[in-house]
Amino acid sequence: MTGLSSAGLSSAGLNAAGPDAVGLIATVLQVVLVVVGAPLLTGLMRQVRARMEGRAGAGVLQPWRDLRKLLRKEPIDPRGTGWPFRLAPLVLAGTALVVAAVVPLVTTASPLDSAADLFAVTALLALGSVALALGGLDTGTAFGGMGASREVTVLALVEPTILVSVFALSVRAGSTNLGTIVGLTEADPMRVLSPASLLAAVALALVTIAETGRIPVDNPSTHLELTMIHEAMVLEYSGPDLALIEWASAARLTVLLGLLGSLFLPWGVATGGAAGMGALVAVLVGVAAFAAKTAVLGMLLAAGEVFMAKLRLFRIPELLAGSFLLALLAVAASYFLAGGA
């Protein structure tokens, strides 16, 4: 009855070498893929956008070239800033790395799967945003404070939608652990088309846009003080610090798009059921599927952005309230259309 019982890391990579070793390899692959692929995704999205607007574009590799250039520059501390300013890019990048390791993008059999669930992932992403907001405040400029204030406002309003969507998704899986949810959906693909799942997908897609600072919530390519959120916070960063922030922003977008893909289009994600060569093949299929899904979702997002303008800051709460309503409907649907009736 006690509600809680503890049993340690019994399954974490020690008892059965076969599937767990594959899981470990898959997790490492997944992290490497996000590290290398995230700037490429940004490049791809910029390229799609450029082509649709009739420009030639700088090429898919341009973000990597930018990162290389920034990394070689001299690190600079603006006068009057301290450890919160210097720590912020590292924490942001660190949370992105941890999330990339625990989210089931390539495989559901990650040895870290039991360490964090969807709530923890949300909280980790929020931790990254908070670190950056504090870094922005620490500069003591009006821009830093403005960006931080707007960022935490959006963050506070996004949170309910995410958690209620998680609720909707976990009702039938009976768990908030990501591996379980994705595994169950993969076993029964028709669940994706259930009203609960569709509503939750729309709600989560909206908050993904808000979390990653894309149009219509924020515009990553503007420096206009009336509108900018993310860019205002990072205005004082330069050189390697800025490189970390740029990379981490891209990685967060990649992970969140990948997560959307895994939750609602779970085909191809390795479940860790097979052994030996079969498992390795499954992992490779997972890698290909992850890359393809994320690229398609990114291109769709970029294409959508071409036809949209940024919302006024104080219209954003309405958008987020709408997404919260969708998430609530998703929970209601999961109860009244399935289990409860």
Within 96-155, which residues bind other proteins (CB under 8 A)?
97-98, 101-102, 112, 114-117, 119-120, 123-124, 126-127, 130, 133-134, 137-142, 144-146, 148-150, 152-153, 155
The footprint of other proteins on residues 167-196 (CB under 8 A) is: 167, 170-171, 173-177, 180
Q: Under the criterion CB under 8 A, does residue 5 sit at the interface with other proteins?
A: yes
- What's the min distance (Å) between Cβ of 182 and other proteins? 13
Q: Under the criterion CB under 8 A, does residue 163 sit at the interface with other proteins?
A: yes
Six token digits for residue 334: 């999961």
Q: Which residues contact 54 (CB under 8 A, 6 or more apart)?
A: none
Six token digits for residue 335: 């109860």
Q: Which is nearer to other proteins, 84 or 195 (CB)?
A: 84
Q: Under the criterion CB under 8 A, does residue 226 sit at the interface with other proteins?
A: no
Query: 233, 158, 170, 246: which is closest to 203 by C-alpha?
Result: 158
Q: Which is nearer to other proteins, 85 or 290 (CB)?
A: 85
Among 24, 26, 45, 93, binds other proteins (CB under 8 A): 93
Residue 129 contacts residue 152 (beta carbons within 8 Å): yes
Give me the long-range contacts of 62-66 (CB less than 8 A, separation at least 24): 63/39, 63/246, 63/250, 64/39, 64/40, 66/243, 66/246
- What's the min distance (Å) between Cβ of 176 and other proteins? 6
Among 15, 53, 307, 314, binds other proteins (CB under 8 A): 314
Q: Under the criterion CB under 8 A, does residue 317 sit at the interface with other proteins?
A: yes
Residue 108 contacts residue 31 (beta carbons within 8 Å): no
320 φ, ψ to 5°? -70, -35
Among 206, 243, 256, 282, binds other proteins (CB under 8 A): 243
Alpha carbon 306 to chain centroid distance? 22
